[in-house]
Amino acid sequence: MHLSVQNLNKTYPRTEVPAVSDINLDVQQGDLVALLGPSGCGKTTTLRMIAGLLEPSAGSIRVKGKEVTSTPVHKRGMGMVFQSYALFPHMSVLDNVSFGLEMRGGGRRGNRKAAKAALDMVQLGHLAERRPAALSGGQQQRIALARALAIEPTLLLLDEPLSNLDAKLREAMRHEIRSIQQRSGTTTLLVTHDQDEALDMADKIAIMENGIIQQYDAPQEIYEHPTNKFVANFVGKANFIPSTSVRQVGEGRYSIEAGAFGDLTVPGVVGIKGDRAELVLRPHRVRLMADGEVAADRPRARGQIIASSYTGNVVSYEMQSSDNDRVIRIDQLSHPADRLPVGAEITVSFDPEDAYLV
C-alpha cells in the first residue's frame, strides 16, 4: 500500500465530540482517492493529519510502509493545494513554483528546471514570468498544482481545490487535474463535498459522515451498491421505498414487500437484519409506462403527478401513489413537448435488479 492510515482519531482541545473517529484508509500507488462528505464531517481534519499539519489524538499513518505519524510536515515530502491557492503575490509564477524546491535545498539551476517542467505539465510554461495577480482563477489554480507537483511529492493532497472556480471552469479543471495526476502517476487524496467531482475524478471514494468513513469503494460501487441510507442519499438522487417482510433468499438477495409496488425479489446489502429495510430506487431508473402498456413481470404503481420541474435535458416528476401517501420521484430524459401536466394519472415501473435494498 502506498498510503496506509490506521485507526486515526482526532479530538480537538476543549471539545468533546471527536472530529475524526477510527479512520482506516489504504490507498494504492497512483490512485486518486476522494474524501467525500458534507461540511464539518472531518475531511480537512483527516487530510491535515496525513499532511503532518495536525497531530492525531491516536492512530498511525504509513507511506510506502514507513511510519510517518511523527515526521514533521516538511520531511513528509507531500504536495498540498488548498481552496485558497496561497500563491505569493510578489513573486513570479516560476518563483512561486520553485519555492517548495528552494525550501528543500538543491541547486538553483536544477530547481528552476524542475519548476519549469512542472509548469509545462500544467501547460502554463509560457506564463512563467507573470505575477499571480495577472492570471485567471483557473490559471492560479494550476500554478498551485504545479507548485505542489514540482517537488515530485510522495502524496498529493488537495483540499477542495476547485471550490473557488465557477461551474464551467470547475468541470474543465476536474478533467485537467485528473489527467495531470494520471500522467505524473502521483498518488492523490482529494477532499471535496461535491459528489459529481468525486464520482468523476476518483478511483475510489471514502464517504464520510460525522468523522466516520461510511463506505470506501469505487465510484460505481458507491452509486450502485450503497451500504446504507446515508451513502445512497448523499451520492446521487434516490427514492427510498419503505419495505417490510424482508427475508433473505440468497447472499445479498431479499424478498420484500415494497409498498405500492408489491412483492419483489431484489439485490441488497449483505447482512440486513430484521424484517424492515429501505429500497433505494434512483429516479432515472423509474420508467413511465405508456398507456395500455403491459409489463406483467415488472412491479408497478399508479399515481398522480403532483409536481414537475424542467432542467433542459431532464424532466423530473413527483408522483403521489394512489394506494398510500408515498411520493416517488421520476427523472425522464425527454423532449419538452412530451412534458406531462401536474394532475396527470400515470403508471410507473422499474426493473427490480436496478434497485438496491439497504
Query: Which residues form the interface with Mg ion (CB under 5 A)?
Result: 44
43 interacts with ligand ADP by CB under 6 A? yes
Please state the closest distance from residue 178 (CB atom) to Mg ion, in A.
20
3-state SS, one letter per residue, for 246-304: EEEEECCEEEEECHHHCEEEEEECCCCCCCCEEEEECHHHCEECCCCCCCCCCCEEEEE
Residue 41 binds which one of Mg ion, ligand ADP, none, with CB within 5 to 8 A depending on kind? Answer: ligand ADP
Nearest to 301 by CA among 242, 258, 266: 258
Contact at 8 Å (CB) between 180 and 121?
yes
44 interacts with ligand ADP by CB under 6 A? yes
Q: Which residue is nearest to Mg ion (CB)?
A: 44
> 47 or 124: whose CB is closer to ligand ADP?
47
Candidate segments 21-29, 37-45, 78-86, 324-332, binder of ligand ADP by CB under 6 A: 37-45
Please state the closest distance from residue 63 (CB atom) to ligand ADP, in A.
21
Please state the closest distance from residue 64 (CB atom) to Mg ion, in A.
26
> 47 or 238: whose CB is closer to ligand ADP?
47
Contact at 8 Å (CB) between 283 and 241?
no
Please state the closest distance from residue 44 (CB atom) to Mg ion, in A.
3
Among 22, 26, 30, 40, binds ligand ADP (CB under 6 A): 40
> 44 or 96: whose CB is closer to Mg ion?
44
Candidate segments 22-30, 32-40, 163-171, 254-262, binder of ligand ADP by CB under 6 A: 32-40
Q: Copy the grid coordinates of residue 209.
A: 459522515
12 interacts with ligand ADP by CB under 6 A? yes
Task: Give all strands (DSSP E) within the chain, no chain letters.
Answer: 3-10, 20-27, 32-36, 58-63, 66-67, 78-81, 155-159, 188-192, 204-209, 212-217, 239-250, 253-257, 263-267, 277-281, 287-288, 300-310, 314-321, 327-333, 345-349, 356-357
91 CB-contact burial (10 Å; exposed 0-12 / middle 13-18 / buried 19+): middle
Query: In angstroms, rounded to a whole number, what is the distance separating the alpha carbons of residues 298 and 320?
Result: 19
83 interacts with ligand ADP by CB under 6 A? no
Phi, psi of 151 (to 5 degrees): -80, 10
Residues contacting ligand ADP: total by CB under 6 A: 11
19 interacts with ligand ADP by CB under 6 A? yes
321 interacts with ligand ADP by CB under 6 A? no
311 interacts with ligand ADP by CB under 6 A? no
Contact positions vs ligand ADP (CB under 6 A): 12, 15, 19, 37, 39-45
